[in-house]
Chains A and B, each alone.
Chain A
């Protein structure tokens, strides 16, 4: 004869816990499903408008050489002869000599186009993402040099290590279909705030 099934207190508690767990899990998954409308994979990117080129990108990335590198938007570059993103403050000549260059790794290649234009190209292999040129170009030029996370190098950590220390909070998770925050337009300086001396 089959023994009669008796529900012990322990079994009842276990069943109640199972039910509660199942309901809770269903609630969480339901809520997430309701929210995931735009749920495509995310990647890390930094907003060049917020970036202050503090230099932490070069040192904080988990990769031996940072995945953050300088991008040059040729469309908005002024092709300046005297490029403040290229030259040291105390540069005595405007050429590629090491003592005149702002870039510590000689990653900016300067080429003469024609009078009075010069092209500046970033050698990605040499760039370490220190942002020295970014600050120089932004201070006096068109801000056509800016930092971006290069997605062919980035290992896309779930938590970007640079993002945890970025003083400008410029790092964010962006949809993988639009992985770059490029400066596409000619840089226009914001209007001066009210009360600022003119």
Chain B
């Protein structure tokens, strides 16, 4: 039947419509009508009949979509009158060198950012650099490929064996260089290079302090995003970090409304809560934090010279990364017992969380596997098995046309099985991450000064602006003098003879009547007062 219709339509195109007209019961001079645009077909029965035929057959062809329908016409090779066939348009892209340029620019930004952060110690310089990064990586290069999403390219390469997709070297470099950098100089990438961080940094006005428990709880979302991104990329489902990137739509100045709205909401939250995306959702931040934690150096020293423990930096830190000094003196025995119990609970909960994660992940696997296009298509194909020909989905149409229905159904089964394992492993790793976090939080901390947590500090350098020691240095005192002064202060604090009035004067000098040092204890005796 198909072929009969097809042969009926052999003459449909170039050779005129005679056969077509015959097939429809009329032998009308179609060609002359079609050639002369001014001649109108009368809107009567005889003209409607062939149109109806065409409609039916076109609809049938679209529905059945059998390749046998195609009735090719031999392309003409020679034309009269010197007509030359135009070239097929294939506009060139921006060229394969751009990714290398991006990597070079990124390294330059990292180097300059490190200089601004550790040697110049200038918040303004770091801020300006991050604006430049936002302009270049964000608005000029439209934010792709970025280090945040590159983890997925690597997972895809490792997951698919490198045959379907091999990670390009620039992408590998984009992923690896900031990580290696973080081992030596902290998360300079977050503060000075990342356009996603920069856009949140610009809008941030006032730090509302998120309670520690909420911060820690929400902080688990980022490793969950990382694990999900790696899992879905490794199984070739999709790149969720890219698909749900909240800010890339702003960089391109276009995008789906839902994502743009979500980005706007994150930015609105970012006005009062520092860098919500970086802290609670960024998958690369998890890796950078791990690298920072592994490094032997602190990410940055908040004051250029030893800290005077005035606590001013803690309040301006947008990401809650500044760790307060632990109380000096012997630890209370009951507090120690409580801490030990908490640690025991945390250690015991680790395997429980891992097992719970594995089981729930395995159970959720088949449902999660529906994000994979092969599974989605297979479901549509299965649903369309007995559907009317005009009601089948595009997926079924594509598979029938390519004759890949069975192949797709088989592949979907494989993918589902992979997902059961994959989600089980990912969820159990998430359980381990949660348990590890509990252990980390209940460990015994010992630090004497205000320090930046290497895992959380994003190198934005806001603490520099708050530090009175830094301010003294900026006010014109030479660094060597400032360091000497700081050294004296440190010596005093070691001997327990720190000059409280001197310290308060520093605070009041900068903050006037504001009560800024209320918790600074002078050996536990008296707090700083309002001046």
Contact = CB atoms under 8 A, between A and B. Distances in A.
Interface stretch (B90-98, B338-346, B462-470, B485-493): B90-98
Contacts of B55: 89-90
Interface in B146-185: 146, 149-150, 152-154, 157-158, 161-162, 165-170, 172, 176, 179
Contacts of A14: 294
Interface stretch (B29-37, B214-222, B262-270, B312-320): B29-37
Contacts of B152: 158-159
Contacts of A114: 79-81, 83
Nearest to B56: A89
Contact of A94 (B34, B85, B95): B34
Interface of A: 14, 17-18, 21, 25, 28-29, 31-32, 35-43, 49-50, 52, 54, 62-64, 71-84, 89-90, 92-95, 97, 113-117, 119, 121-122, 124, 135-136, 138-144, 148, 150-159, 161, 164, 166-170, 173, 176-177, 179-180, 182, 186-190, 192-193, 196-198
Given A62-B254, A81-B34, A124 B13 contact: no
B72 A28 contact: no
B112 interface: no
7 contacts: A41-B168, A74-B88, A78-B13, A121-B86, A139-B70, A188-B72, A190-B67
A75 B144 CA distance: 35
Interface string B73-106: 1111001110101111111111110110000000
B67 A78 contact: no
Given A78-B73, A78-B74, A82-B17, A176 B67 contact: no
Interface in B276-310: 290-291, 294
Given A31-B158, A182-B88, A62 B249 contact: yes
B34 A93 contact: yes
B115 to A, nearest CB: 26
Interface in B36-94: 37, 39-41, 43, 47, 51, 54-55, 58-59, 61-62, 65-76, 79-81, 83, 85-94
Nearest to A55: B394
Contacts of B256: 62, 161
A189 B243 contact: no
A48 to B, nearest CB: 12
A52 B99 contact: no
B447 to A, nearest CB: 13
B73 A142 contact: yes
Nearest to A168: B398
Nearest to B371: A164
Given A32-B157, A62-B255, A71-B88, A189 B96 contact: no
Given A35-B157, A62-B256, A176 B93 contact: yes
Contacts of B66: 192, 196
A80 B13 contact: yes
A130 to B, nearest CB: 14
Interface of B: 1-3, 9, 12-14, 16-17, 31, 33-35, 37, 39-41, 43, 47, 51, 54-55, 58-59, 61-62, 65-76, 79-81, 83, 85-96, 98-99, 142, 144-146, 149-150, 152-154, 157-158, 161-162, 165-170, 172, 176, 179, 238-239, 242-243, 248-249, 252, 254-256, 290-291, 294, 373-374, 377, 380, 393-395, 397-398, 401-403
B242 A157 contact: yes
Contact of B37 (A94, A141, A150, A196): A94
Nearest to A11: B296
A4 B167 CA distance: 48
Contacts of B95: 176
A83 to B, nearest CB: 7
B239 A197 contact: no
Contacts of A32: 154, 157-158, 167, 172
A131 to B, nearest CB: 11
B254 A152 contact: no
A116 B68 contact: no
Contacts of B179: 25
Most chain B beta-carbon neighbours within 10 Å: one of A29, A83, A92, A166: A92
A46 B398 CA distance: 14
Contacts of B2: 192, 196-197
Nearest to A70: B89
A186 B75 contact: yes
Given A42-B165, A139-B61, A139-B69, 10 more contacts: A28-B154, A32-B172, A36-B162, A74-B86, A90-B54, A92-B41, A95-B37, A117-B79, A157-B142, A159-B242
Given A140-B13, A159-B239, A78 B40 contact: no
B59 to A, nearest CB: 8
A151 B9 CA distance: 36
A156 B14 contact: no
Contacts of B33: 93-94
B83 A113 contact: yes
Given A35-B162, A141-B72, A152-B92, A159 B80 contact: no
Contact of B9 (A140, A156, A182): A140
A141 B14 CA distance: 9
Contacts of B373: 164, 166, 169
Nearest to B88: A73
Contacts of A41: 96, 98-99, 168, 170
Contacts of B393: 167
A111 B83 CA distance: 12
A19 B76 CA distance: 69
Nearest to B67: A190
